[in-house]
Amino acid sequence: MTCLRCGGLVVEEYLLNPREGSLSGFHGSRCVNCGAIHDDVIHTNQRMTPSLKRVRSPVAAVDVASR
């Protein structure tokens, strides 16, 4: 498989979330060259139109879209 970002080699990997411990891992793929993680959730979020994304304030995480 080829990386969509850099064209490098993508390998299947079991990815762990260090904040949540060893029980929160998932199967995905990572580029050996640039380190980009590729999985279904990331691809779905990248294809989502900006109007469907929630806009949040970086300071207080206030939902700006409802104003």
Return the HEC string of the chain. Answer: CECCCCCCEEEEEEEEECCCEEEEEEEEEEECCCCCEECHHHHHHHHCCHHHCCCECCCCCCECCCC
Q: What is the pLDDT of residues 7-43, one digit of tens each?
A: 999 999 887 777 766 666 777 889 999 999 887 777 7
Q: How confident is the model at residue 6 (pLDDT cuts 50, 70, 90)?
A: very high
pLDDT of residue 63: 56
Number of folded domains that form the chain: 1
pLDDT of residue 26: 74
Reply yes or no on whether the pLDDT at 56 is more than 70: no
Regarding pTM above 0.85, the answer is: no
Residue numbers of the domain that contains 63: 1-67
